[in-house]
Structure 1
Amino acid sequence: MKFSQKLIFIFLFITTTVLLNIVWQEKIELLKKEKYTAVTQEIQEQTNILVEEKKNATVAIGVSLSFDKTIKEALKKDKAELIKLGELSASLRKNSDFKNVWFHVLTGEGKCFYRSWTDRRGDSVVNNRIDIEEMLKDPKIMTTISIGNYDMTFKVMIPIYDEKNLLGIMEVITHFNSIAKKLVKKGIEPIILADKKYKKQLLYPFTKLFIDDYYVANLNANPEYMDIVEKKTVEHFLTLEKIYNEDKERGNLETLYTVPDIKGNPLGYIILFKPIKEIDMSDIEWMKEEMVYYIVILLILSASIFYYLANRKIISAISSKNRSMKKLNDYLEKALIEEKELQRQQEKERQILFQQSKMAAMGEMIGNIAHQWRQPIAIISMWANNIIADIDMGNIENEQLRKYANSINAQTQHLSQTIDDFRNFFAPNKEKKTFTLKNSIDKTMSLLTASFKTHSIELIENIEEIEITALENELTQGILNIIKNAKDILVTLPRESRKLIFVNVYKQGNRAIIEIKDSGGGIPENIIDKVFEPYFTTKHKSQGTGIGLYMTESIITKHLHGEISVENSEYDYEGKHYKGAVFAISLPINK
């Protein structure tokens, strides 16, 4: 090989390597942007959920106090000293996230009657607050986030009536501190700000903290991140062009959540920081390793070509074979790239299907929660009316009142447990843990009890105490998809037909078997082999997406390393003959 040819070859090798590296770096940068966008959207969603939860909890307190007879009596007699909400405030501070709740009672004319945080009363607040003005025009439950003399707060106003006469307004005021603490627990650092146009209105700022005339509403704001906002200025964050900003120098993702006023205009802002080192970037690291792998292949291939060119006189006899091998290598490399692209597309489609299944399950769960809540709410209403009736008749005693209160508390605990079960079901937990199948199945069925009762569906369980180590939420969703499929079939049966679902769990060797059987008549034999295919459904297209059983099969086989099968079965139960589908799940018992 001539020297000039060697130089050309070396130049081509270096150029190819550099170009390959540039292409790979661009691909890695694109993946990184997609990851940051997804993380930012999740942060925004978590913040919005916390804000809505705080609003709803504040409404619950306000509604309860609007029926308080002592407050009504105080308004009628114009005796504010009758109102004593100090004990309630102390109890909330001790037993809940409400560490600093303020109570404000106004007259029907919009004058202050009672403030829990000051003795000042008698002043009119209508002219300073458009929300009070709106309330007096159209008395109804109103929730807002507003800025007063002290702080940016959540406010709920409830009209207080004496029969049909408006006595006054009950206002409950809560703060942003609990939201900030919950965000910090999730690894997100918030700086909560009120717009600078409200600075003059904040006569007695609760936190006494300001940045660029913007009031800082979270009491324990991290000084490190306050310093970042101060150096960059608040205006920098308010004018972000993208959903997020990457601060490479400090290693943070930055995003902005806007808090609207009653008319939808910006009232305040939550600047959110997420340390980049806490974001899972393992998929991008894998791409970097893959880049090194291809560069090594290119180096080996180039060395082989260089060797060939340098010694082509010696290997001329086998040159034709070398050409064939090179063609084969090119074909295999192309096939490898196509296979990787196909795998990526399949994984993306699986994720889309999984999310569709999750959203369908969430809709089903919301319906189930509505069923679950109807009876406890009716019981709470009944006991509350009993208390009111006994008080009006003068028959109430401490023991009777305690009994009523205990009953109401038991029902509210049931409502709370329903919400906890719902949250746990949709929690994005991808860590394996050891749990008993009985407890997991019981939690799943508790979400369906009311729906079963409504549709006269009987649940017959025979469950052994078996512990397994797996992804519990994934298994729960898989079981729920099968149960929902059975329920959808059973509700179409004639009213006189007995609707049965059997759940049997037992151990077989080193595996746990879960069998779910119904009395729905079975699956037609000509389609039973297709029920696990994506978008295949035995129902009308308007009744579902057809992805539930496909995702169940994917969860059981790919995520839980188990097996699932379905067959039709005829059986006798309590003297009657039935036919239905039997789904069998086999899972490894990994300790």
Structure 2
Amino acid sequence: MLFENEKKLLKIIKYAPSIFVLSITIFILTVSFLDNKKTFEKDKERIRFEHTKKNEEIIKQRVYEVYNYIKREQEYTELELRKTLKEAIDIANNITMGIYNNNLDKSEEEIKKLVVDALRNIKFNDGRGYYFIYENSGKNILLPHNEKLEGKNFWNHQDAKGAYIIQDMTKLLSTQNEAFYEWYWYNPKNPDIQRKKIGLVKNLEKFNWFIGTGEYVEEFEKEVQERVLRNIKEVKFGNNGYFFIINYDSIYLSHIKKEYIGQNAIKNNDTVEIKKVIKDLIDIAKNGEGFYSYIQNKKPDNNESIKKISFVKGLDNWSWMIGTGFYEDDMQKAINDKKNELDKEFKDYLVKTTIFAFLLIFLLLSISIYFSKKLQEIFKSYQLEKTRQQNIIAQKSKMAAMGEMLGHIAHQWRQPLSSISTSATGMKLQKELNILEDKNLIDGLEQINKSVQYLSETIDDFRNFYKPNKNKTEFHILDTVDKVINLINSQFNSNGIKIIKSGENIKINTYENELIQVIINLLNNARDELIKKDFEDEKLIFIDVYTKNEKLFLEIKDNAKGVSTQIIDKIFEAYFTTKNDIEGTGIGLYMSNEIITKSMKGKISVSNVEFEYKSKKYMGAKFSIILPLINH
């Protein structure tokens, strides 16, 4: 079996010459085409550029004229609105002062009532305009559209944006006699929703009051918008020129086709990929302005599909997109005539060059296939030898691991064998002395049976760990770690080594026996290093399991002072070992790396780390295994 790199190399040898010839042929044809038609290309680009540039400047200027017109209307209308509000407040002030001066013989409360009664029924701006009066303390005196609120204190009242309206107004009037102010209030036409208002408030010093009136911005803007749209609809230029206005919700507000107005632009079959075009145009408008080209299905004068370039500009305070465009068909006829001429002249040259190129490709392909087959045979021979060597290394690793495991089992069996011997000898002695009771006999036999069952389980575990199973299975990682610890723990305990595990018992689908072999290798390495070190601290091995980014992390670290920086980059190499020939083969970590990276498609690495345990700092080596949680 060939590796991917070898397959790629064979493909390169087989096809590269032919691809090279084909590429050269295409290059020659392209250069010839460009050289022969250089003048044509210059003329074509010049025609296209000049036509596009000229018309882009025209439509941009026209859109700016409409945009500036709308801005002037907005500014003028707002000035008119402020003027109207000023006149209304002056009228109310004159009425108030007239009542006051003509009724000086009456009490203050009587005069106040006369003022309120006089102003209550005054309406203006198509019934939207009215007067309101507040004491400087925040108490409402007059609110014609909602009289039930009169007499209530609004000092701490907030509008929809959180503004303290009355507090803001009194603050403004503390430094000036009258002031314009913007706030949100209930519209009499829709009393459940607060709308933005522009208003004017004025001190009534005689009564410690202030009076005000305002206009709802949406009502004011609606009148301006209707007037602007009426005027824009009448503007047309050339045979097909017109302005279109679409709001940011994709609704047509102005268009040459009256049936479009009020409709969602996306629903009209007016443009190819209409949904994308409208979205892109609105995005351009929201970002300021820009040009955009697209295919319009029907040109106004002939209903033909044609490419169109439009310029759009955003009017953000109204959420409008203003645009106009031009069509490219005016320059297309001259370009098409020159293109037809080019096609005819180039066709003969193309046929001759293509025939020659294919003959050369056929010859090179035949030669390349022959050489690639020879090279493939060499690769296969090399791969067979490499596989044989890998099998030898794997067998050595397995035998070494089996030897380690037999040592663990021998250690594990000492206790139960000793228990069996003690029970049997004791029962025999009691029998010889005629003091063996049935209870002692049963207890002794039960103890022997428990020990035998333990020995049997140990044999089953040993056999399961080393049976040739190359099928993936689902298992919980900490359960597998427990199996390993139960099997080898006696040797660790006898050397005063404590294994501490933590983390999540995560389910994973991979080769359990091979993972067990890796864990045993890593634990044995840690054990050997801890035994070699002469220190008074606890001998510790930590096993931690967690998940991150759909990957399982299994980390094994010890406090054996770490790996020398001179060898840390070599420890996964085959036959590399720091032990003598009797103690180690140098293939345990190499096979662990092979199993994790190639069989399980994961990663394994080693690093020296500092960590703290029970308020004491340690230094040691940390082996990190990363496995994918999804099926690989």
TM-score w.r.t. length of structure 1: 0.45
More contact order relative to length (CA 8 Å, sep ≥ 6) = 2
Which of the two has higher C-alpha Rg? Answer: 2
TM-score (norm. length: structure 2): 0.42
